[in-house]
A and B are shown apart, each in its own frame.
Chain A
């Protein structure tokens, strides 16, 4: 089965939008890649822009859309230039415009540069920004597949997902499935960063272990041992080194208590204190919270204040309050930013309780 960024089946989404009766429909390519440690989409757009454009065109053809929008992060100038050149080429070749390849299928694709901000990568905040409003997530349901851009059915996939589609259509599903290892299906782009000799984007067969990917990236830098890793970007839980044998795939990483997230492996070498790292991530979510809903607007700020006070003074963190904030964020926030904001901190406390003053081994839950 072909998996999209967060592991949901692509075809479910496409089928849903295809079945909607409202017109017009839209295809949005989410190229607002902003998760810390994540840069694979940038490389795909810079080096394989034709696959992105073709993926959007195929998506539009399948769901019955005549308009595609690439919503791109404003820092991605080179990627934007590459896509613009590719769109020009496609127009000249008759692959875009009215009557694509002599058929009655019309398609225009435009690039929209994001006004900026992590939260705009959230699919409904992205739609709000496209509609010239504050970039704040909508309450869901309804989902964009039914009520999306300007209230119309909108197919939204990220860059990697769309770029995979042409290859799978050309070579077939069995080719895709056999591309994985040890029973895992397909290939995966991973951004590798942190304490490795050769950080960068690696395309691996799923089923490759984290340890093997770290070796591919030249091993842990400075001849140090591995201490921890985050397999899916800033919002994924940190796992200790003994989990480096985990095969990289959506389900296998979840079984170990973390997630594939944005496909970003962040490597942490032995000797690195983890509380300041967790604080950095919580602070990031505080800074990027849009402020729309109460739990996220206030909860991320209060948690940041508490962690910073602990780091500064060494005084114990009131773990019962952190747990309460984590519960409120996870249960009551409108969007994923709030759900995950304290994940990194909670996972550090769970696996390295000695590094979090005030947190005894049994304290996290």
Chain B
């Protein structure tokens, strides 16, 4: 009987024409997953409360505006489309926007074998120069970033190598909020937050001190949830060649 009651409460919707039933409270993103449809996301992780800021999981639900599947609840009778030319153009454009500020030579990929932004760039066919690693090109690049899809590149954010465990590359941070939620909600350390506004927003430790001087306990959760090269486990190769002592480079640029 209880089982039957639960079935009656289930919400029925269609995703790309395929019917699916989910429990009340489920998001469109979760409903899509039950059908094996993996919507692209950079800011979402199933362990975290969704925030809907990267906008890559946008879907069409028959409303004038696109809606972020990770935060939008499934509704009875909803007809969801997860792919269309409109959505593809938006997703590729968003990735190009992020790439225009993204270091071409990122530190994460060589260590973990994964960089969600670089992978998406490949999948979506974003217009961005091929990744190169220091040394491979023969000469050091003048700027760490290059234009993507004709969008001018931005550069000059700080590198923070004060922590003995985690290397912070603010230029590679896409403000997805995952490290913040990982630190605050999963580990309940509450060290990471955001500071600044608009284009100058960045993650900050405690009251905006270098990571190594903060109350960080080096649990590693932030590095684990980070989808890009912004927070990576430290190794000798992340130390700048001319930096004998750990420190923060370019902090005042921000």
A327 with B89: CB separation less than 8 A:
yes
Check if A150 is an interface residue, CB within 8 A of chain B: no
Q: 8 Å CB contacts to A: which residues of B89-146?
A: 89-90, 93-94, 97-98, 100-101
Check if B152 is an interface residue, CB within 8 A of chain A: yes
Alpha-carbon separation in the docked complex, A299 to B90 (Å) = 13
B199 with A321: CB separation less than 8 A:
no
Q: A134-B194, A289-B198 known; A294 and B90 CB under 8 Å?
A: no
Contacts of B52 in A (CB 8 A): 139, 293, 334
**Which of B55, B100, B154 is close to A293, meaning CB atoms less than 8 Å apart?**
B55
Contacts of B58 in A (CB 8 A): 331-332
B199 with A294: CB separation less than 8 A:
no
**Which of B71, B90, B151, B200 is close to A332, meaning CB atoms less than 8 Å apart?**
B90
Check if B68 is an interface residue, CB within 8 A of chain A: yes
Check if B72 is an interface residue, CB within 8 A of chain A: yes
Most chain B CB atoms below 10 A, which of A134, A292, A325: A292
Indicate the size class of the contact surface on chain B: 20 to 34
Check if A324 is an interface residue, CB within 8 A of chain B: yes
**Which of A295, A301, A321 is close to B94, meaning CB atoms less than 8 Å apart?**
A295
A289 with B66: CB separation less than 8 A:
no
Q: Which residue of B lies closest to A305 (CB)?
A: B152
Alpha-carbon separation in the docked complex, A351 to B98 (Å) = 32
Q: A320-B150, A328-B90, A331-B86 known; A295 and B55 CB under 8 Å?
A: yes
Q: A328-B97, A331-B90 known; A291 and B149 CB under 8 Å?
A: no
Contacts of B53 in A (CB 8 A): 292-294, 334
Indicate the size class of the contact surface on chain A: 20 to 34
Q: Chain A, 286-323, contact with B by CB distance < 8 Å: what is the 0/1 string?
A: 11111111110111111001100000000000101100
A321 with B200: CB separation less than 8 A:
no
**Which of B51, B100, B150, B197 is close to A298, meaning CB atoms less than 8 Å apart?**
B100
B149 with A324: CB separation less than 8 A:
yes
Q: Which residue of B lies closest to A142 (CB)?
A: B73
**Which of A291, A297, A327 is close to B93, meaning CB atoms less than 8 Å apart?**
A327
Alpha-carbon separation in the docked complex, A300 to B154 (Å) = 13
Contacts of B93 in A (CB 8 A): 324, 327-328, 332
Alpha-carbon separation in the docked complex, A300 to B66 (Å) = 20
Q: Which residue of B lies closest to A296 (CB)?
A: B198
B175 with A331: CB separation less than 8 A:
no
Q: Chain A, 122-137, contact with B by CB distance < 8 Å: what is the 0/1 string?
A: 0000000000001000
Q: Which residue of A lies closest to B58 (CB)?
A: A332
B100 with A321: CB separation less than 8 A:
no
B55 with A321: CB separation less than 8 A:
no
B149 with A321: CB separation less than 8 A:
yes
Most chain A CB atoms below 10 A, which of B53, B89, B151: B151
Q: Which residue of A lies closest to B201 (CB)?
A: A291
Alpha-carbon separation in the docked complex, A297 to B201 (Å) = 8
Q: Which residue of B lies closest to A301 (CB)?
A: B199
- Shortest distance in angstroms between A6's beta carbon and chain B's nearest beta carbon? 15
- Shortest distance in angstroms between A78's beta carbon and chain B's nearest beta carbon? 27
B198 with A301: CB separation less than 8 A:
yes
Q: Which residue of A lies closest to B100 (CB)?
A: A302
Give the top 6 A-B pairs by smallest Cβ distance, nearest first.
Answer: A291-B201, A301-B199, A289-B198, A321-B150, A332-B55, A139-B52
A-B contact pairs, 6 of them (CB 8 A): A139-B68, A139-B71, A294-B53, A294-B174, A298-B98, A325-B97
Chain A residues with a Cβ under 8 A of chain B: 117, 134, 139, 141, 286-295, 297-302, 305-306, 318, 320-321, 324-325, 327-328, 331-334
